[in-house]
């Protein structure tokens, strides 16, 4: 057990250590300051603006910014949809994959455009190399870049005074992709190939196995490049169906560490960026701390549940719950990954969540249900968290005898409407999606397990889609018309309603003046506030999901112990 603790401490120290310089770097990129890549990339950036006909000095109001985000994403959605259905007649398809059916194609497009990367398919048996690299990998970049762009807008909303514009979407999108995501992905991809992650355009290989000369087909492909961004961009969609539990996607302990670090790296760094940008590092630290505390508690709980509440077989030494986990990673690294991937809206896996103990699985599910704000998605995690910060400020701020304010901006009814939309939409769609699934007459036939665990499978699936996570409680047959269509719609709504709300929130905030800070102002960076923020997040999450969890993992635990 102690090696697991040391491993986790090492991981967290590394994460914090890397996130600080990266956060400062992102801040510089966001504000257009000079960084070490500026000289190399400026010509490329300007070239892009020129080719695309973008006026990079144009400033957009909230409405135009939101429209740009939506229009861009809509085009991506249609392109990706068409690409999958037509892949059979398109090049770069050595395995001769046929076009996918319309509902799977829709679900996959919605999933990747919304940064969810829910996969109702298995990459190696469904998609061509062209679809993987031109379709999915591109979306991995731009969907996370869009998330970051919207976060930048919200941050600007807090900084700006009496302004009607919040930035330029095309510039934000280009800069985050060019200066942040591409260099980082390149680095990670090279590191991963060094560990043996495949990166090739050649056809699948037939190899003779040790098992009396049986031949096995080993799927290959340009994996490393996609895996790097799948982790960094909190996308999570595996190149192969088994995701990072597959040896060619994640072969060594070091590749495992690099990937699990990449999952939380940018979301954590953005907290530092936030503190820098609002000229008060403590504000960033407070949010970082709240996320970290929730993460550490969840990590400890998952690890403990996996280690100690696994099934006990009489006469066999207790090994913890090892089913569904790779021996190379063991309980510690599997629990760490599982916690990180559900805390962030990543969704990649190196073990099967469906095999976790009831309570261990519940922690993962609950982290998703909190709204993907414990680090969360790139950009979206922090703007979701900021919505909770505003909610906390609103509820407890009144108790100091002033109308609520955050970072000098008054939180008024319009802002509350937007905040409530950001918080409300994922909760509702998760519950409603699950409800819609269970009333389907053949719902039970989609499940591998029955009883409470069966319900957990459905609840997990819709929590995952309803919060743009993308991981699955394996066992649930996701590739049905019903799940593909409702899931696709839910993923899109859950991504874009809060996104647009965040932009409009920023637009409204930017128009306000700053209120002076005094002794009478509620501090939003002290320990008390961090505690209250965590309290509000947990209470909202618990109040919304406790009844459902009682019928799923809790009943599962109580009936099987």
Partner 1 sequence: MEKKVVDKNIFVDALKQSFVKLAPHVQVKNPVMLVVYIGAILTTALYCLSFAGIKDESSGYILAISLILWFTVLFANFAESIAEGRGRAQADTLRKARKDVKARKLKSADNVDRYTEVLSADLKKGDIVYVKAGEQIPMDGEVIDGAASVDESAITGESAPVIRESGGDRSAVTGGTTLVSDWLIIEVTAEAGENFLDKMISMVEGASRKKTPNEIALQILLVTLTIIFLVVAATLLPFSEFASSQAGAGSAISITNVIALLVCLAPTTIGALLSSIGIAGMSRLNQANVLAMSGRAIEAAGDVDVLLLDKTGTITLGNRQASEFLPVSGVTEQELADAAQLSSLADKTAEGRSIVVLAKEKFGIRGRELSRLNATFVEFTAKTRMSGINYQGIEICKGAADAVKAFVLKKGGEYPDECEQIVKRVAGAGGTPLVVAKNNQVLGVVYLKDIVKNGVKKRFEDLRKMGIKTIMITGDNPMTAAAIAAEAGVDDFLAEATPEAKLTLIRDYQAKGHLVAMTGDGTNDAPALAQADVAVAMNTGTQAAKEAGNMVDLDSSPTKLIDIVRIGKQLLMTRGALTTFSVANDVAKYFAIIPVLFFGIYPQLTALNLMGLTSSTSAILSAIIYNALIIIALIPLALKGVKYRELPAGKLLQRNMLIYGLGGIVAPFIAIKLIDMLLTACGIA
Q: From CA 370, how far away is CA 366, in angstroms rounded?
A: 6
Nearer to partner 1 among residue 5 and residue 398 (C-beta): 398
Each residue 441-480 as x (binds partner 1 by CB under 8 A) or -, in order, gives --xx-----xxx-xx-------------------------
User: Which residue stretch of 192-200, 248-256, 313-321, 521-529 sits at the interface with partner 1 (rule: CB under 8 A)?
Assistant: 521-529
Q: Under a CB-based contact definition with an 8 Å cutoff, are residues 226 and 123 in contact?
A: no
Shortest distance (Å) from residue 375 CB to partner 1: 23
Task: Output the smallest distance, CB 387 to partner 1, in A.
Answer: 11
C-alpha closest to that of 142 among 378, 361, 348, 339: 378
How far is residue 175's CA from residue 46's CA, in Å, rounded to a whole number? Answer: 10
Q: Closest distance between partner 1 and the C-beta of residue 157, in Å?
A: 16
Answer for which of 2, 212, 314, 413 binds partner 1 (CB under 8 A) is 413
Q: What is the total residue count of the chain?
A: 561
Cα gap 142→138, rounded to integer Å? 6
CB burial of residue 421 (10 Å; 0-12, 13-18, 19+): middle
Enumerate residues 6+ apart whose C-beta is below 8 A from 417. Answer: none
**According to the binding rule CB under 8 A, does residue 555 interact with partner 1?**
yes
Q: What track of x and - describes contact with partner 1 for positions 160 through 189 (by CB under 8 A)?
A: ------------------------------
Rounded least distance, CB 455 to partner 1, Å: 6
Kind and range of the H or E element at 129? helix 129-130
Minimum Å gap between C-beta 506 and partner 1 is: 18
Among residues 193, 181, 208, 308, the alpha carbon closest in space to that of 252 is found at: 193
Q: From CA 400, how far away is CA 458, in angstroms rounded? A: 43
What residues contact 278, with CB distance under 8 A and at least 6 apart? 155, 158, 159, 284, 407
Please identify, among the stretches 84-92, 248-256, 301-309, 397-405, the one whose residues bind partner 1 according to the rule CB under 8 A. Answer: 397-405
Q: Does 134 participate in binding partner 1 (rule CB under 8 A)?
A: no
Q: Any contact of residue 365 with partner 1 (CB under 8 A)?
A: no
Among 130, 428, 474, 485, binds partner 1 (CB under 8 A): 428
Buried b (16+ CB within 10 A) or exposed e, 42-55: eeebeebeeeeebe
Helix, strand and coil content of the chain, in percent to the nearest 5, comes to 65, 5, 30
CB of 533 to partner 1, least distance (A): 13
Nearest distance from C-beta of residue 152 to partner 1, angstroms: 24
Work out how close the CB of 386 gets to partner 1 at its nearest, in angstroms, rounded to a whole number: 16
Nearest CB to partner 1, comparing residues 452 and 509: 452
- 431 binds partner 1 per the rule CB under 8 A: yes
CB of 419 to partner 1, least distance (A): 8
Counting residues that bind partner 1 (by CB under 8 A) gives: 65
- Give φ, ψ of 471 to 5 degrees: -80, 165
Residues that bind partner 1 (CB under 8 A): 391, 394-404, 408, 411-413, 415-417, 420, 423-424, 427-428, 431-432, 434-435, 438-439, 443-444, 450-452, 454-455, 513-516, 518-523, 526, 528, 532, 535, 539-540, 542-544, 546-548, 550-551, 554-555, 558-559
């Amino acid at each position: 057990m102690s090696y697991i603790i040391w491993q986790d401490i090492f991981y967290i120290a590394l994460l914090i250590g890397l996130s600080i310089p990266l956060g400062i770097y992102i801040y510089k990129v966001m504000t257009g300051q000079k960084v070490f890549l500026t000289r190399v990339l400026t010509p490329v950036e300007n070239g892009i603006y020129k080719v695309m006909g973008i006026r990079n000095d144009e400033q957009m109001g909230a409405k135009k910014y939101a429209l740009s985000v939506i229009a861009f994403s809509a085009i991506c959605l249609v392109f990706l949809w068409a690409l999958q259905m037509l892949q059979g007649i398109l090049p770069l398809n050595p395995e001769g994959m046929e076009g996918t059916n319309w509902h799977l194609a829709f679900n996959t497009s919605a999933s990747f455009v919304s940064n969810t990367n829910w996969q109702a398919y298995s990459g190696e048996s469904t998609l061509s190399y062209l679809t993987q690299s031109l379709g999915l990998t591109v979306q991995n970049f731009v969907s996370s870049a869009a998330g970051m762009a919207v976060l930048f807008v919200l941050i600007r909303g807090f900084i700006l005074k009496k302004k009607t514009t919040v930035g330029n979407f095309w510039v934000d999108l280009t800069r985050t992709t060019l200066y942040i995501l591409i260099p980082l992905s390149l680095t990670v991809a090279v590191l991963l190939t060094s560990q043996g992650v495949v990166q090739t355009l050649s056809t699948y290989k037939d190899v003779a196995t040790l098992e009396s000369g049986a031949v096995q087909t080993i799927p290959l492909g340009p994996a490393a490049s996609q895996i790097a961004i799948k982790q960094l961009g909190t996308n999570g969609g595996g190149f192969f169906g088994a995701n990072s539990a597959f040896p060619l996607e994640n072969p060594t302990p070091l590749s495992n560490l690099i990937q699990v670090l990449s999952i939380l790296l940018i979301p954590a760094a953005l907290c530092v960026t936030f503190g820098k940008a609002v000229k008060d590092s403590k504000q960033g630290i407070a949010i970082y701390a709240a996320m970290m505390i929730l993460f550490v508690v969840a990590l400890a709980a998952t690890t403990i549940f996996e280690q100690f509440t696994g099934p006990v077989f009489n006469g066999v030494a207790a090994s913890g719950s090892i089913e569904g986990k790779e021996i190379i990673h063991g309980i510690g690294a599997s629990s760490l990954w599982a916690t990180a991937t559900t805390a962030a809206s990543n969704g990649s896996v190196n073990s099967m969540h469906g095999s976790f103990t009831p309570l261990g699985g519940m922690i993962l599910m609950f982290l998703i249900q909190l709204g993907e704000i414990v680090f969360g998605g790139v950009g979206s995690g922090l703007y979701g968290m900021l919505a909770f910060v505003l909610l906390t400020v609103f509820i407890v701020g009144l108790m100091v005898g002033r109308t609520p304010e955050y970072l000098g901006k008054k939180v008024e009814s319009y802002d509350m409407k937007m905040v409530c939309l950001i918080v409300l939409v994922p909760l509702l769609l998760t519950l409603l999606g699950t409800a819609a699934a269970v009333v389907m007459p053949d719902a039970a036939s989609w499940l591998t397990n029955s009883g409470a665990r069966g319900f957990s499978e459905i609840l997990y699936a819709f929590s995952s889609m309803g919060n743009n996570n993308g991981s699955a409680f394996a066992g649930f047959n996701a590739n049905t018309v019903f799940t593909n269509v409702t899931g696709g719609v839910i993923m899109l709504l859950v991504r874009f309603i809060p996104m647009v709300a965040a932009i409009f929130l920023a637009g409204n905030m930017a128009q306000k003046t700053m209120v002076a800070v005094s002794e009478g102002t509620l501090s939003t960076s002290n320990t008390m506030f961090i505690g209250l923020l965590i309290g509000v997040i947990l209470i909202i999450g618990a109040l919304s999901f406790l009844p459902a969890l009682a019928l799923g993992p809790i009943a599962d635990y109580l009936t099987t112990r």
